[in-house]
Amino acid sequence: MNETLTKVRITTYREALREALREALQRDERVFLMGEDVGRYGGTYAVSKGLLEEFGEARIRDTPLSESAFVGAGIGAALNGMLPIVEVMTCNFSLLALDQIVNNAATIRHMSGGQFSIPLVIRMATGAGRQLAAQHSHSFEGWYAHIPGIRIVTPATLEDARGMLWTALMDPDPVIMFENALLYNLEGELAPGAGAVDIDRAAVRRAGSDLTLVTYGGSLGKTLQSAERLAAEGVSAEVIDLRTLRPLDMPTVLASLGKTHRMVIIDEGWKSGSLAAEIMARVMEEAFFELDAPVARVCSAEVPIPYPKHLEDAAIPQVGTIVDAALRTVNRHV
């Protein structure tokens, strides 16, 4: 095999997303990108930088500041055979398009008896840690994962950032892709041939035997760091990256629990009514007798995300709080 085809290269999460966009635009002329500042400005997080010059205004479309309008336009385009990618600047702003997303995109295929599909991908930044205060920093993945008719994906690695988009475009249902904003500068290795990936299954990012740590998106890095610290304490932690939040891949989660018999769920959403609560409930329903200790959760504090750095850090899951919860779960006093 040619060595140049297998040699990995150093890139960033942002650049991996841009490559995915470029590939989709090259691969099918029905694909186009639209959203606030995606064209001349190159995207709020520079993901679409250079694509306007490469593909032109017909396929890289700057929109007015009206989420309801351009998400609705994306739905209409999908209904008429296009493959639209809609970028929403931050998930907080997606609330302005809830009627379009929840009452239209999620329901049309069902209400039409499968006669109409909505192959729409909505990309949006999520998460805290950047001192942008409450109106730009929340995590609504769990909210959207509540809604039938939508698939929710949360790329946490360069491979998934590169590979989830095309698979999502091929889904007959709308897909929301949550990109944690702290990941855009993430740097790492990516194979030159990296392409479309499976979006049906969770991934075991680290094998372990004493404890299962379940997480997704921006919390994966912290969870892997926590597993390293736990290893120094003599605790072997298995790390599950959910990747897709709707539908949940519970067989992978339960298979891990069957090995470790203890679980901590790390979720940047608020604890009340959270995705973590849903996973806990399913564990209780499907695998109660596998548990040697109660399932624990590490979630964000029940407050709007604060602006000051020290308060923002205290409000969201951190390595220290994950490690403490894990040690308590394996009966180590902290």
- What value does the mean pLDDT take over residues 42-55? 96
Buried b / exposed e across 293-314, counting CB within 10 Å, b at 16+?
A: eebbbbbbeeeebbeeeeebee
pLDDT recorded at residue 84: 98
CA dihedral 56, 62, 67, 70 (to 10 degrees): -40
Mean pLDDT of the chain: 95
At residue 62 the predicted structure's pLDDT band, cuts being 50, 70 and 90, is very high
At residue 129 the predicted structure's pLDDT band, cuts being 50, 70 and 90, is confident
pLDDT recorded at residue 6: 60
Q: Domains in the chain, please, with CATH?
A: 8-190 (3.40.50.970), 203-329 (3.40.50.920)
pTM for the whole thing?
Answer: 0.94
Positions marked catalytic: 67, 136
pLDDT recorded at residue 193: 84
Which candidate, 270, 331, 11, places its Cα nearest to that of 137?
A: 270
pLDDT recorded at residue 192: 84
Residue 150 has pLDDT above 60, yes or no: yes
Q: Are 189 and 16 in contact (CB under 8 A)?
A: no
Q: Are 86 and 122 in contact (CB under 8 A)?
A: yes
Residue 3 has pLDDT above 50, yes or no: no
pLDDT recorded at residue 8: 83
Dihedral sign for Cα atoms in the order 160, 279, 223, 303:
positive
- Spatial separation of the C-alpha atoms in residues 194 and 198, rounded to whole Å: 12
- For residue 100, the one-letter residue type is Q
Q: Are 280 and 254 in contact (CB under 8 A)?
A: no
pLDDT recorded at residue 2: 46
Residue 260 has pLDDT above 70, yes or no: yes
Residue 258, Cβ density class (10 Å: 0-12 exposed, 13-18 middle, ≥19 buried): exposed
- Model confidence over 151-208: pLDDT tens digits? 999 999 999 999 999 999 999 999 999 999 999 999 999 988 888 999 999 999 999 9
- Model confidence over 166-178: pLDDT tens digits? 999 999 999 999 9
- Model confidence over 296-315: pLDDT tens digits? 999 999 999 999 999 999 99
pLDDT recorded at residue 33: 98
Q: 71-75, long-range: CB within 8 Å, 24+ apart, which pairs?
A: 71/97, 71/100, 71/101, 71/105, 71/122, 72/97, 72/100, 72/104, 73/34, 74/34, 74/120, 74/122, 75/100, 75/104, 75/105, 75/108, 75/118, 75/120, 75/174
Residue 334 has pLDDT above 80, yes or no: no
pLDDT recorded at residue 291: 97
Residue 333 has pLDDT above 80, yes or no: no
- What value does the mean pLDDT take over residues 117-139? 93
- What value does the mean pLDDT take over residues 19-26? 97
